[in-house]
Structure formats: C-alpha cells, structure tokens
Amino acid sequence: MIKQIFTWWNSQTLGTFLYTIFFGKFVGRDEFGNKYYQNKKGKRWVIYKGEINASKITSDWFSWIHHTINTAPTEKKVERYSWQKPHKDNKTGSAESYKPNKISKKGKDFKKYEAWKP
C-alpha cells in the first residue's frame, strides 16, 4: 500500500485511486488483469496490473479507450481470425528484449561480427 501511494509506476497514484472511487464506473477487465473505468462524462482510463506500461493494452481495449468503438470488449471471447497472434507487450529495455547482434551459446554471448579496424 505504501509503495502504491508514493510511486506512480506501481499500478496507480493516490489521486487516481480516489478519482476512481468517487467518479469511476467499472467497465471491464482484460486477460492480463488490467481494469478499465469510465465516468459519466465519457472519460475513460485504465488501472494497470503491476508495472505501468501502455503496451500492455490489447487492441480491443485500445480501440475502446481511444473512443474508436463505443461498446467495451468484455471478458467474453472476441472473435479472432486464424492469422491473429496473441497480444504481447513491448519488452524494450528489459532482460527479455530482442538483441539481434548477439548469438548465445551455452550461456556465453558472441557477436556475429567484429568491428572493422583501420
């Protein structure tokens, strides 16, 4: 609780928490645990589960939160095409990020090339 009050990157701030209690109407939750709210004037917002990262929002909820669609996608199954892949958040800057210049062999990192020396 103390972590949530004093750090904005952990779920929500105290101001967002109070605003959500007094003015927010719960609309739904996505498969990652993010909660979506709306007030009477039409303002929409999300309370992230865990670390705040905008790439955690799926395309369905992204469309709703940016007023592209009016009906909120709920937990019921949304029709998917066979070519659609499951949503993944952006891993840039984390240990799981893509590193194209290295090849890992048995725990060691090797570069694919050596820098040119004059």
**pLDDT at residue number 66:** 93
What pLDDT, in 10s, does the model give residues 45-67? 999 888 788 888 988 899 899 99
- Whether the model pTM is above 0.75: no
Residue with tokens 């909820």: 61
**pLDDT at residue number 68:** 92
1, pLDDT greater than 70: no
Task: Tell me the domain boundaries of the chain.
Answer: 2-84
What pLDDT, in 10s, does the model give residues 65-108? 999 988 888 756 667 788 888 888 888 877 777 776 655 555 56
Asked if 4 contacts 12 with a C-beta cutoff of 8 angstroms, the reply is yes
